[in-house]
Structure 1
Amino acid sequence: MESLVCEIAKSRLKNDFDKAFEDLGLFVTDLKFDYSEGLSVIVEFSAEEGVIILNTQ
């Protein structure tokens, strides 16, 4: 049961990150949870070539 809950949470996090970073041309390719020091979420992003918007201010 715990792994099912984790997969649901992971799926929702991925969707939320995808929506939040869509305007920058990024999408989530992997989410990992690290429990070594509390709880950390490691997010791996990717982008299609030529799509990333750079803020050069």
Structure 2
Amino acid sequence: DYSNLKKADIFALALTVISASGAEPLPTNGEKWHKIRQGILPHIPQVLSQEFLSLLK
């Protein structure tokens, strides 16, 4: 079933950008992972515009 493939690609791209922005290493599972899935991003040390942060969410 490939119905969610585009959503998964976009989610993976957002995780890549978060990582490249200097965030702590991404969790592989657990509460922190589920928070990311809900749009609650880990702390990103670089200053990013609100528009860009909204795009990541």
- TM range, normalised to the smaller chain? 0.3 to 0.5
Structure with bigger gyration radius = 1
TM-score between both structures, scaled by the size of structure 2: 0.38
- Name the one with the larger strand percent: 1
| TM-score (norm. length: structure 1) | 0.38
